[in-house]
Structure 1
Amino acid sequence: MNRRIEILLDRDHQLGHAYFMSLENSNDLSRLSSIFLKQIIPLLQEYFFEDWQRIAWVLNDHRKDKGFRFVEPATYSMDSLFGNTGDVLPEAKAWRLDEEAFKKPQSYLGILGDGKV
């Protein structure tokens, strides 16, 4: 993740080992999930000014299978939200966290390498 952050942002905004110290004597997946949901994801949101595409790249989600991605695009139809707008408004693209992915060890393993486990 730090290499990706360095390429997408700079070397000064990397993740330190302190975030993961509570896992030193534990392999508790719920603790890892909590670290990501309460610390890592909010930090990445701050680093990238909520640019979810870049956050997904840092998490290697673009290379993971559906169901193991922490961040998913949620596309909404502009017509369903605003009525027929013609060509005035493009399709909206929002993002959401897939909370189930945080409960799967494969999601974290997918951060490494090619994203496949």
Structure 2
Amino acid sequence: MQLPWWGMLFAFFIAWVVTLPIGVAQATTNQLQPGYGIIAQFKIGYTLSGKPIVNLFFKISGKISTVHALSFLSNLKLGHYMKIPPRCMFTAQHVGTMIAGTVNLSVAW
């Protein structure tokens, strides 16, 4: 993929930082989450210039991490309204993520 290991950690760090503000905006306005893809593309494009595949992979990794985090939070909120215990919801989400990740990795290999 040409993305160094620290690039992946940087993508996850940016996703971790922007999840809270985007989640608050989404919960308050009940609109779809605003994108931060352009900011992520600028940051990695400046750091690793001349590599468009790296730029897209970085953007997708950060965006997917944020979308999944917001989806998990939304599901926990729905589970709270339906009186499902939070630990059961989190366990179900965690197991589903592990299964999906394993299947995706095995298909990729």
TM-score, normalised relative to structure 2: 0.36
* Structure with the bigger percentage of strand: 1
Q: Which has the higher contact order (CA 8 A, sep 6+)?
A: 2
TM-score, normalised relative to structure 1: 0.34
* Structure with the bigger percentage of helix: 2
